[in-house]
Amino acid sequence: MTKRTLKLAGAALIAASLVLSGCGSRGPAESPTSAPTDGGSSSGGTKVAKIGFIGPISGGLSALGLGMKNSVQLAVDLANKNNAIPGWTLEFVPMDDEAKPDTGANAATSLAADPDIVGVVGTLNSGVAQSVIPILDAAHIVQISPANTNPTLTQGADPAKPTRPNANYFRTATTDAIQGPVAAKYLLDAGIKKVAVVHNKGTYGQGLAEAFAAAFKDGGGEVVASESFTPGTEDLSTVVTTIKQAGPEVVYFGGEYANSKDTGGGARLSNQMKANGLNVPLMGGDGIFDPEYINLAGKAANGDLATSVGAPPTDLKSAAEFLTQYEAANFPEPYAAYGAMSFDAANAIIEGLKVSLADASDAKSAREATIEAVGKVDFEGASGQVKFDEFGDTVTRVITVYEVADGAWTTKQVINYQG
C-alpha cells in the first residue's frame, strides 16, 4: 500500500455530550412524523415527500443508531419549520434494522414501496448496507450513509480499478481506506512496532482490520498475530492466549463494541485481554467509539484507543448551531458518534429536493432527479464541507484519534488526511 502523508491538527477534550451513555427508548421503529392521511397530500394542501431512515434503533448498537435517527429528524423538522421547499411538506419515516442485513433489506423494501419516499439516510453497518443499497437503487431512491466506512460500497471490490457500483449511494463518512492507515501511522509515530490484529468476521470489521494491517506493515511495523472470532462468542480465551504469546504492544480490533450475536465483541475482547494478563491497549475504529464500549468493558477500557470519522463536533464552529438545536429539541438520547454527519446527510437530501421537487407533480417522479441533484450539493454542514466525489464519497477526510482516560473518551489527535 502506498504510504500516505498525514496533516495533524490540534487536539481537544471531547465534550460531555459525546461521552454520555446512550439511553432511553430501545423500542421498534417509530411512526413517521405527521403521517399523511390522503395519499400524498398533507392536511394543509401541500404535497408530501418523505425521507426515510434505516439504522439500529433497538438492540446492541442502538446507542449509535438513536443518535443518528434523532439527528435526521431534527433536519426534517427544521426544514419544515423554515419552509425549505415551498409547496411541500417533508415527513420522516424511521425504520429499525437491528444491525441485521435481512432486517435492513426488509426495511428498504418497505420504504421503496412507498411512492412518497424520495431519500433515505442510513445505514450504520456496512454489512447491512450491502443488502439495502441494491433495493433502493432499483427504486431510484438516493441513499446517504453517515457511518458506512467499507470502501467497496462506493468503489467496488478491486481497489486497483475503482468502479462505482450504485449511482444512488453516497456517504458523509470517510472510508476505512483512510481510517485504517491513519490508525497505523498513529501507532507507528508513537513508537509501536508490534501489533496483533483481530476482527469479528463482519464486512466492516474485516475490511478495517485488513486496511490497518497492510498500512502498518507498509510503514515498517510487524503484525505478530492475526485472529478472528464469530460475533457472540463469549469465551475468547483461545484468541487471547494466541495473541498474548505473540507479544504485541497493541491489539488492533476490527468490529463494533457490542457483545451481541450479530455484531461487535470489542468490549468483551478488551475485558478478557486484561483479565488474562494481556495488559496492552486495544485499538479499534469508529465501531467501538461510543460510551457504551466503556460501560461494557469497564475498567479494562482505560488506555484503549479508537479512531472515528470526522472531527469532534464540539471542536467545529460549523457544528455550533447543530449542537444548540439538538439540545433544544430535548431528544432523550445524545447525538453520539454520527449525529453531525447524519444531520448533514439529511440536509444533503433536502438540498437536492429543493431542485428536484421544484417542478415535480409528485414525489416518486422526482427520485431520479434527486439522485442527480444530491451529487452536485456543496455546502458547509455541521461536520464540515458536504460535497461528494465521483464515487459518492465525501471530500472531507478527517479522522480523530481518541483514548479512554478516567472512564471517558478524550481526544488525542484530529488528523486531516492529505493522501
Tell me the C-alpha distance between 55 and 129, whole Å. Answer: 10
Contact 285, 181 (CB under 8 A): no
Give the Å distances, CA to CA, from 363 to 46, 89, 108, 138, 380. Answer: 12, 11, 17, 16, 26
Q: Write out pLDDT tens, residues 339-357.
A: 999 999 999 999 999 999 9
**For residue 46, is pLDDT > 50?**
yes
Rg (CA), the chain: 21
pLDDT digits (tens, 9 = 90+) for 4-39: 333 333 333 333 333 333 333 323 333 334 333 344
Only one residue has cell 424511521, namely 94
The region of weakest confidence among 14-23, 75-84, 218-227 is: 14-23
Residue 32, pLDDT score = 39
Indicate the pairing of strand 250-254 with strand 282-284.
Answer: parallel
**Cβ atoms of 183 and 307 closer than 8 Å:** yes
| Average pLDDT score over the chain | 90
Cell numbers standing for residue 85: 421547499
- The pLDDT tens digits of the residues spanning 275-287 come to 999 999 999 999 9
Quote the CA–CA distance of 275 and 362 in Å, as a whole number: 60
pLDDT reported for residue 40: 59
Nearest of 389, 419, 295, 305 to residue 20 by alpha carbon: 295
The DSSP letter of residue 22 is P
Note the pLDDT of residue 328: 98
Class of domain 176-309: alpha beta
- Cβ-count burial 2-25 (b if 16+ within 10 Å, e if not): eebebeeeebeebeebbbeebeee
Handedness of CA 166, 167, 168, 174 (dihedral sign): positive
Pairing of strands 222-228, 194-199: parallel
Residue range 66-88: mean pLDDT, rounded: 98
Give the pLDDT score at 155: 97
Local confidence band at 259 (pLDDT 50, 70, 90 cut-offs): confident
- Specify the pLDDT at position 239: 97
Residues of the chain with CATH 3.40.50.2300: 17-174+314-396, 176-309
Q: Which amino acid is at 186?
A: Y
CATH 3.40.50.720 given to domain 17-174+314-396: no
Find the length of the chain: 419
Mean pLDDT of 314-331: 98
Per the structure block, which three cell numbers stand in for 1? 500500500
Of the candidates 221, 196, 220, the residue with the CA atom closest to the CA atom of residue 209: 196
Residue 263: the pLDDT is 75
Q: Which of 188, 248, 175 is nearest to 217 (CA)?
A: 188
pLDDT for res 24: 31
